[in-house]
Amino acid sequence: MGGLASDDGLVTAVSKSYIQHLRVEMASCKGHLMPGVRELLPRLRKQKGVHLGLLTGNLEEGARLKLGPFGLNEFSPWELSAGTGRIGTSFCQWLWRG
pLDDT score recorded for residue 94: 45
- 83, pLDDT greater than 60: no
Which residue, among 72, 77, 83, has the nearest Cα to 39 in the 3D structure? Answer: 72
pLDDT score recorded for residue 10: 84
Instruction: Name, in order, each residue with C-beta under 8 angstroms of 95's C-beta and a sequence gap of 6 or more.
Output: none
- 69, pLDDT greater than 80: yes
- The model's confidence at residue 12, banded by pLDDT at 50, 70 and 90, is confident
Q: Average of pLDDT values for 74-97?
A: 53
Instruction: Name, in order, each residue with C-beta under 8 angstroms of 44's C-beta and a sequence gap of 6 or more.
Output: 50, 52
Reported pTM = 0.67
More confidently predicted of 14 and 79: 14
pLDDT tens digits, residue range 15-67?
899 999 999 999 888 888 899 998 999 999 899 988 787 777 778 888 888 88
More confidently predicted of 44 and 80: 44
